[in-house]
């Protein structure tokens, strides 16, 4: 049997990680190189001449005396944690097949639950923002899906307490899944789908969906849209047309259920964003670590207040 190229790809082992980022100095060097690839530049006057105030871990401009810390203006600012803990958290979040809950992160990092929760949510937020910048194109399978809620009774469409989300997966010419996007929506209405498509799909993308009327909203976003209905004669074709999107909806639900006992409705967009980010980097396990470090270095600070507010839907 041929080996699965994703499962058997060369990993990013714990010993290699520890060798690269086991000390604070190594993590600081990495962050410095991401922030100032061509050497330090004063954020105040753009001078390149600076000195390091080692006792306070600050860089001071020789021209205007402006002082900056290595983490100022990044996701890692205002944190008492050493960078080694941040790097280890990023390693754990990106390298485990099913991610890691805040509770597990607390145990592995040896920090309080609140600290682990903040790290986890800040990182999930930057994963989501990074992924949202890439519009899906080519051929896209699209479906409506629901997650969460505990009420018994009706399942799926129209069920109470469930959070609706758009599930989209882009395919290459061979029909293999490439990128995925899962976005919480307020409802499945035509205008909502038009707005979603304008933000997340390239123009002229070919989208296949079922016959739910809201998907007619795709046309207003300059999308080429074909729909299939589920009836006896074409059931086989129908299932084939939605194979990947249906599989991914099942996977995300199982993964969230397996890793997290319960997630709050207002945080669902972030969890879906994390799932997509990891899926979209599944061919490159070391890249996913490097990308998330870079996202953290380039992301503005994220006060806890922002994390506890309901996330904007898309």
Please say which residue, 36 or 260, places its beta carbon nearer to Zn ion: 36
Cα separation, 49 vs 62, whole angstroms: 6
Minimum gap (Å) between residue 266 Cβ and Zn ion: 41
Please say which residue, 50 or 281, places its beta carbon nearer to Zn ion: 50
Please say which residue, 35 or 122, places its beta carbon nearer to Zn ion: 35
Minimum gap (Å) between residue 48 Cβ and Zn ion: 9
Exposed e or buried b per residue across 44-75, where buried means at least 16 C-beta atoms within 10 angstroms of its C-beta? eeeeeebeeeeeeeebbbeeeeeebebbeebb
Looking only at residues 25 through 64 of this chain, which bind Zn ion when binding is defined by CB under 5 A?
42, 44-45, 47, 61, 63-64
Look at residue 170 and give its three-state secondary structure.
Answer: strand
Looking only at residues 185 through 244 of this chain, which bind Zn ion when binding is defined by CB under 5 A?
none
Please say which residue, 66 or 294, places its beta carbon nearer to Zn ion: 66
Which neighbouring-strand residues pair with 120?
none
Judged on CB neighbours under 10 Å (0-12, 13-18, 19+), 172 is exposed
Please say which residue, 42 or 83, places its beta carbon nearer to Zn ion: 42
Exposed e or buried b per residue across 215-236, where buried means at least 16 C-beta atoms within 10 angstroms of its C-beta? bebbeebebebebbeeeeeeee
Please say which residue, 41 or 219, places its beta carbon nearer to Zn ion: 41
Are residues 45 and 61 in contact, defined by beta-carbon separation less than 8 angstroms? yes
Residues 6+ apart with CB under 8 A from 11: 95, 285
Cα radius of gyration rounded to whole Å, the chain: 22
Please say which residue, 64 or 187, places its beta carbon nearer to Zn ion: 64
Minimum gap (Å) between residue 54 Cβ and Zn ion: 19
Looking only at residues 120 through 159 of this chain, which bind Zn ion when binding is defined by CB under 5 A?
none
Cα 70 to Cα 25, 43, 91, 141, distances in angstroms: 12, 12, 20, 43
Judged on CB neighbours under 10 Å (0-12, 13-18, 19+), 313 is middle
Please say which residue, 51 or 206, places its beta carbon nearer to Zn ion: 51
**Which of 105, 17, 3, 1 lies closest to 285 in space, CA to CA?**
17
Cα separation, 290 vs 200, whole angstroms: 24
Please say which residue, 47 or 202, places its beta carbon nearer to Zn ion: 47
Strand order in the sheet with 50-53: 50-53, 58-61, 67-69
The footprint of Zn ion (CB under 5 A) covers 42, 44-45, 47, 61, 63-64, 66
């Amino acid at each position: 049997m041929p080996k699965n190229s994703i499962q058997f790809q060369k990993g990013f082992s714990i010993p290699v990680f520890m060798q690269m980022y086991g000390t604070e100095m190594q993590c600081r060097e990495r962050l410095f190189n991401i922030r100032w690839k061509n050497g330090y530049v004063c954020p105040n006057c753009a001078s390149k001449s600076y000195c390091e105030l080692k006792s306070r871990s600050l860089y001071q401009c020789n021209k205007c005396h402006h002082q900056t810390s290595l983490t100022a203006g990044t996701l890692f600012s205002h944190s008492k944690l050493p960078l080694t803990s941040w790097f280890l958290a990023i390693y754990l979040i990106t390298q485990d097949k099913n991610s890691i809950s805040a509770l597990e992160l607390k145990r592995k990092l040896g920090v309080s639950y609140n600290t682990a929760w903040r790290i986890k949510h800040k990182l999930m937020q930057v994963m989501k923002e990074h992924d949202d910048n890439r519009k899906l194109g080519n051929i896209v399978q699209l479906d409506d899906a629901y997650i969460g809620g505990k009420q018994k009774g009706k399942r799926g469409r129209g069920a109470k307490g469930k959070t609706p989300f758009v599930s989209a997966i882009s395919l290459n010419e061979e029909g293999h899944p490439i990128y995925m996007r899962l976005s919480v929506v307020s409802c499945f209405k035509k205008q909502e789908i038009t707005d979603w498509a304008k933000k997340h799909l390239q123009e002229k993308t070919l989208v296949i969906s079922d016959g739910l009327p809201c998907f007619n909203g795709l046309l207003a976003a300059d999308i080429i849209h074909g729909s299939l209905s589920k009836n006896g004669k074409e059931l086989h074709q129908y299932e084939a047309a939605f194979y990947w999107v249906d599989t991914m909806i099942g996977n995300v639900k199982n993964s969230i259920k397996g890793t997290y006992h319960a997630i709050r409705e207002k945080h669902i967009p972030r969890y879906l964003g994390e799932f997509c980010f990891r899926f979209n980097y599944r061919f490159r396990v070391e890249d996913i670590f490097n990308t998330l470090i870079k996202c953290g270095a380039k992301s503005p600070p994220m006060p806890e207040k922002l994390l506890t507010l309901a996330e904007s839907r898309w």
